[in-house]
Structure 1
């Protein structure tokens, strides 16, 4: 439904030197037809059509395996970037030689109406991020030459969180640019059930991936819950 706006937001970037890898995770709508239309128009688009649905984390990993560029950015089909997103953020990274950056973003309704702006701090470290998962996946750019190759954890909804923690645990700091360069769409399907599943996955990351002790898990989870609610106000 929103895929065309998403694709256009990338190919209309003021920064032109990129490849756009689109993974069609065995969609049952007209996504593949739309993708093929834009492939004919823009040679920078590299489509991957999967024969079965493998989920967001594994689909992203396939794209990461195919990616040729120094910098890696992410964008889901429901969301979109602003025209200067890549140029502004890459300037920010190159000016300071940052390996891992993220930005502010707007939360919008299904119809594109602004709900709120998510402000971001100037930097966030491993232990701060455990308590405040403020990094929006659609805002991230990573210099893979500095961090080395990486992939997402194969979990349901917090694979991006697990990846940011993995990178920060290697000693990298995530640097924030408090400028809105993208919009995140809050869908009606984002209901209490999905929020509960996300919370369960966050707990899984704490205990099974990061191996935190129980008391630290509880403390981080309380802070995570508080900060998640605050972002939605």
Structure 2
């Protein structure tokens, strides 16, 4: 069994996939498995992945296009590593990411940890200031803003179990982290930048249309809060999101 399972959904990522692949192969820490699920890509993504000659990499091609959460779940079902971490097919890790995160998890006896990450344009050049891992994360403070990014976080599946992504939510990563933090008291910050996130103007995470409604449903449908309480946390999330991505605050 590998110590780390890396979970990656892939959908039409051929333009960036080779850089992402190289960032994994360049990791100083080598005891990992990489579970990639292609979500019915129509470009050369599958062809690019199949060219890699590395027994640690497992490619699954989904039978239907079910979205990133569904693709991640298919990989999670096959994961055998103690530590679970995520990397989308267009993001990038520095060579010391896994080494530093695993060492930190063990030293701190952490069940969940997250690091800084750089916020970049399509060419991986800095776009706004790095996101800072500067606070311990709890269920209560994660309700107001999602400080956990998939590409810079890791959790201990032996201690807390695997946490799957919910079907039907466009904010499935936030719901997943909230459900995970119902099980553990705190996620710990590692204030070092070891990952790069591509900020696509057209990505679902950056679209403003219906995003407030989607976030409201995180609280109303998945946390089962009252209408008033759901709108309260939605307003807090919106304010914190503006501060997180606005160049005025970065």
Name the TM tier (shorter chain). over 0.9
Bigger fraction of residues in helix = 1
Cα deviations by residue, 1:121-173 (Å, 9 ceiling, x for unpaired)? 23111110100112111111110011113211113431111111111112331
- Consecutive unaligned residues in structure 2, runs of 5 or more: 1-14
Aligned to 2:214: 201
Tell me the secondary structure at the aligned position of residue 115 of structure 2.
Answer: strand
Shift of 1:216: 2.2
Whether 1:213 aligns to 2:214 is no
Tell me the secondary structure at the aligned position of residue 179 of structure 2.
Answer: helix
Shift of 1:200: 2.4
Whether 1:172 aligns to 2:185 is yes
Task: Measure the CA separation in 1 of the matches of 2:204 and 2:183.
Answer: 34
Asked if the contact 1:26–1:51 (Cα under 8 Å) also holds between the matched residues in 2, the reply is yes
Report how many aligned residue pairs link the two structures.
231
Tell me the secondary structure at the aligned position of residue 42 of structure 2.
Answer: coil
Tell me the secondary structure at the aligned position of residue 120 of structure 1.
Answer: coil
Q: What RMSD, in angstroms, separates the aligned Cα atoms of the two structures?
A: 1.6
Whether 1:84 aligns to 2:104 is no
Aligned to 2:79: 67
Task: Measure the CA separation in 1 of the matches of 2:110 and 2:230.
Answer: 29
The verdict on how the C-alpha distance between 1:193 and 1:180 changes in structure 2, with shifts beyond 3 A counting, is closer
Tell me the secondary structure at the aligned position of residue 60 of structure 2.
Answer: strand
Whether 1:34 aligns to 2:48 is yes
Aligned to 2:66: 54
Whether 1:25 aligns to 2:39 is yes
The verdict on how the C-alpha distance between 1:67 and 1:229 changes in structure 2, with shifts beyond 3 A counting, is same
Task: Measure the CA separation in 2 of the matches of 1:69 and 1:206.
Answer: 31
Asked if the contact 1:122–1:177 (Cα under 8 Å) also holds between the matched residues in 2, the reply is no
Shift of 1:188: 2.8
Task: Report the TM-score, using the length of structure 2 for normalisation.
Answer: 0.88
The verdict on how the C-alpha distance between 1:155 and 1:194 changes in structure 2, with shifts beyond 3 A counting, is farther
Of residues 84, 107, 117 in structure 2, which corresponds to 1:95? 107
Task: Report the TM-score, using the length of structure 1 for normalisation.
Answer: 0.94
Cα deviations by residue, 1:14-37 (Å, 9 ceiling, x for unpaired)? 000000111111100000110000
Task: Measure the CA separation in 2 of the matches of 1:15 and 1:48.
Answer: 24
Shift of 1:120: 2.0
Shift of 1:192: 9.5
Asked if the contact 1:23–1:49 (Cα under 8 Å) also holds between the matched residues in 2, the reply is yes
